Amino acid sequence: MADKFNVVGISAHRVDGRGLVTGKPVFVDDLPKHPGLLHVALLTSPHAHARITSIDTRAAEQVEGIALVLDHRNTPHRRYTTAGQGYPEPSPYDSRMFDTKVRWVGDRVAAVAADTLESAERALGLIEVDYEMLDPVLSIDEALADGAPVIHDEDDALDVWDAERNISAHMVASAGDAEKGLAESDVVVEVTTETHYAQHAPLEPHVVSTFLDEQGRLVIVSSTQVPFHVRRIIGRLLDVPVHGIRVIKPRIGGGFGVKQEVLIEDLPSLVTLRTGRPAQMVYTREQEFISSRTRHPMRIRVRLGAKDDGTLHALAMDVLSNTGAYGTHGLTVLSNVGSKTLPLYNKAPHVSFRGDAVYTNLPVGGAYRGYGATQGYFPLETAVDRLAGELGMDALEWRSLNHIREGETSPIFVALGEGREGVEQTITSCELDECIRLGAERIGWSEKRGKREREGSKVHGVGMSVHMQGSGIPMIDMGAATIKMNDDGSFNLLVGATDLGTGSDTILAQIAAEVLAVPLESVIVTSSDTDITPFDVGAYASSTTYVSGMAVQKAAEEVREQILEVAALMLEADPGELELVDERVVAGDDRSVSLANIGIRTLYGVEQQQIGATASFVPELSPPPFLASFCEVAVDESTGRVDVLRYVAAIDCGTAINPKLAEGQLEGAIANGIGFALFEEMIFDAEGHPKTPDFARYKIPGPMDMPELETILVDSYEPTGPMGAKSVSEIGINAPIPTIANAIYDATGVWLTETPFTPERVWRALNG
Ligand code: SMO
């Protein structure tokens, strides 16, 4: 399909690549500092659960260079959510800038602003805090136990499901009658899995700098995925009107969801508002681990019931999610555990989903690439392998019989949306069969599956799993784009869409260049400045290519119409007979005019006007990308060590607007997922103190840890997307856990149900 395009479908270099690879100052902390800068540092709680009975900041205030100390006594008390979501946010308002209670080791106690970071840190050490210790709640089971300490006992939190029982959020959805369906099934399997705490570990931590502009407006420069939500949420929190705030997002060094959170913008903002001075706050790596956001650990039970012929008859999923000390993203991540997984097997007439997100005195769960689907696919896709085994069917054959297809729907699309009911959807493109076929061929499925080839203490196995995700949040997300034409026939593309390292600026420029028939270099992209670029909800939910991409396509089409109207006058032709080709407008015969001539004429000549347009897009659908994932492992039975030898991921993401960038997204997601599956783990002691808050103890995969990885972009076209595109960014991270678990079973005959699959855990499973 891509061959009908000129700029789309090409692996063009990133539009921001030159500055990045030559080390230009492009990230927040690299930008020139404003004179009089104050450094903001944060004092965090050493206790998992305690009441602050007194704070004495007098000694801290005497430190030279201290401008301001902030704590619960001199900051706004209103409750809000740090979740960077659309308004009204579906997350509970259970956070305060500073509270009188601390709810996890790493919670906020006080902040200091000083001339130097050294002074700020010295002052932090002089703040005296008295705590009344409370019993900490350190697991899902402790949170739900009768008589458990109540973590959110305040009386002013909003939209907490059942604070008395530590339940932050609750969600149920169903179609048919799952219990009846399971009873009617010939074969039933049940799997319960536990997934662990993990952190996003972006190379650039959270960084925010603030200052007042010449007119006294608050400017916030932030490494954020959600600049427009930052403007709104900070405005409401600090009582500044939206028009008094400008949020600028420069280049971002990775987000993976942790920057879909208004996490620290409030502190330097308040310092700047109170002192009039510029301020900056940079999370330390330790704070990034413990005072930031994490992936929600979950316990999930999946029950599948099938008829003897293999057709799925009933599907039930029960989820307990640990949202940590606050409920940010708790409800919506919980919803996505089901909404992004259950529709994949739409043949079952009986489906049920129920889940609770519970509070604990541990780090706060948030948005993390995959957004719940990662946790949900572990039990689902390992249960599918068990079911196929019980039915005597091959894992590929069972999935081909039961997965959703083009033209089909699932009742779950309507029953379960983003923290509320969803919308009706029919699948408009699905090349999952081709993904499965190609992936199986490349991994050598039929030669290797079930063979248990041995070399010494190592035994080999192959495993696979299939996946879907979404492309934005239907009927909620919105993206907008503005395009204006310059006097040399180039264009400015202004987007609120937020490139956080994904390459979205580049693919949005490719879409515009395609419609306007210009080379990529003729499109100058400006992304994310709330004063300059039109609104966009931001970078999350795999939305940018599909939602913001459609806005860009619509804006470019409107600009093309304006160009053709001017050209029609110049060429004395009918606009309907004109076409844009290679930077020119051509009539049916040999008459033509260049875009540069049109640009200079409209700005300086006759019929003077600014050619330009703004367009918005709100998606009615969220077309899922599909993925078939395969790997080969060697399990050392003497040590429990699992080596992933080869990995093959075949994806249907619709048109890959930029194939190299699409592959990069998929490779990154698989690497991220392998780290989560095998070794990335946040561990806490019996009092809830973190034992792994650095890269020495929390291991993320480097190049040497990566298996031979093959990504395959399967030919596909999504008719509702921009140039046929869907999404690619999140889906891959869901795959490694079930794929590796299924491969470990193929090698050893043992099922892993707890992550990560460390040597110790695997050895224990092998040795019963
Ligand atoms: S986890 Mo992403 O910010 O949807």
Cβ of residue 510 lying under 6 Å from some atom of ligand 1: no
Q: Which atom of ligand 1 is nearest to the CA of 368?
A: 1
* 565-598 tens-digit pLDDT: 999 999 999 999 999 999 999 998 789 999 999 9
Ligand 1 centroid – CA 333 distance (Å):
9
Ligand 1 centroid – CA 159 distance (Å):
22
CA pair distance 103, 44, nearest whole angstrom: 11
Cβ of residue 257 lying under 6 Å from some atom of ligand 1: yes
Q: What is the largest CA-CA distance in the chain?
A: 85
753 touches 194 (CB < 8 A): yes
Cβ of residue 445 lying under 6 Å from some atom of ligand 1: no
Which of 602, 597, 569, 574 is CA-nearest to residue 587?
Answer: 574
Q: Count of CB atoms within 10 A of residue 492's CB?
A: 16
Alpha helices, DSSP H, located in 449-583: 504-516, 549-571
pLDDT score, position 600 = 96
Per-residue DSSP letters for 173-220? EEES-HHHHHHH-SEEEEEEEE---B----SS--EEEEEE-TTS-EEE
Q: Taking CA 221 as the corner, what is the angle to CA 220 and CA 226, rounded to the nearest 5 degrees?
A: 85
Cβ of residue 541 lying under 6 Å from some atom of ligand 1: yes
pLDDT score, position 768 = 85
SS3 track for 333-375: HHHHHHHCCHHHHCCCCEEEEEEEEEECCCCCECCCCCCCHHH
Cβ of residue 371 lying under 6 Å from some atom of ligand 1: yes
> Which of the 8 DSSP states describes residue 265?
T
Domains of the chain listed by start with CATH number: 2-25+478-617 (3.30.365.10), 33-134+203-254+259-290 (3.90.1170.50)
- Beta strands (DSSP E) in 598-638 are 612-617, 626-636
> Which of the 8 DSSP states describes residue 738?
H
349 touches 305 (CB < 8 A): no
pLDDT score, position 626 = 98
Cβ of residue 345 lying under 6 Å from some atom of ligand 1: no
Q: Which atom of ligand 1 is nearest to the CA of 539?
A: 3
Whole-angstrom distance between the N-terminal and C-terminal Cα of the chain? Answer: 52
Which of 285, 202, 206 is CA-nearest to residue 249?
Answer: 206
Residue with tokens 């305690």: 50
Q: Which residues pair with 627 in a beta bridge?
A: 467, 651
CA pair distance 511, 381, nearest whole angstrom: 35
Cβ of residue 398 lying under 6 Å from some atom of ligand 1: no
* 61-106 tens-digit pLDDT: 999 999 999 999 999 999 999 999 999 999 999 999 999 999 999 9
Cβ of residue 727 lying under 6 Å from some atom of ligand 1: no
Ligand 1 centroid – CA 260 distance (Å):
7
Cβ of residue 260 lying under 6 Å from some atom of ligand 1: yes
Query: Coil, helix or strand for 90?
Result: coil
Q: Which atom of ligand 1 is nearest to the CA of 255?
A: 3
For residue 496, the one-letter residue type is G
Ligand 1 centroid – CA 739 distance (Å):
22
Which residues of the chain have a pLDDT value below 70? 1-3
pLDDT score, position 3 = 64
pTM of the model: 0.98
Helices vs. strands in the chain: H and E counts, helices first: 20, 27
CA pair distance 517, 596, nearest whole angstrom: 13
Task: Determine the distance from the C-alpha atom of residue 81 to the mean position of all C-alpha atoms in its chain, rounded to a whole number.
Answer: 18
H or E stretch covering 388: helix 373-391
For residue 450, the one-letter residue type is G
CA pair distance 15, 323, nearest whole angstrom: 38
CA pair distance 710, 689, nearest whole angstrom: 39
* 328-346 tens-digit pLDDT: 999 999 999 999 999 999 9
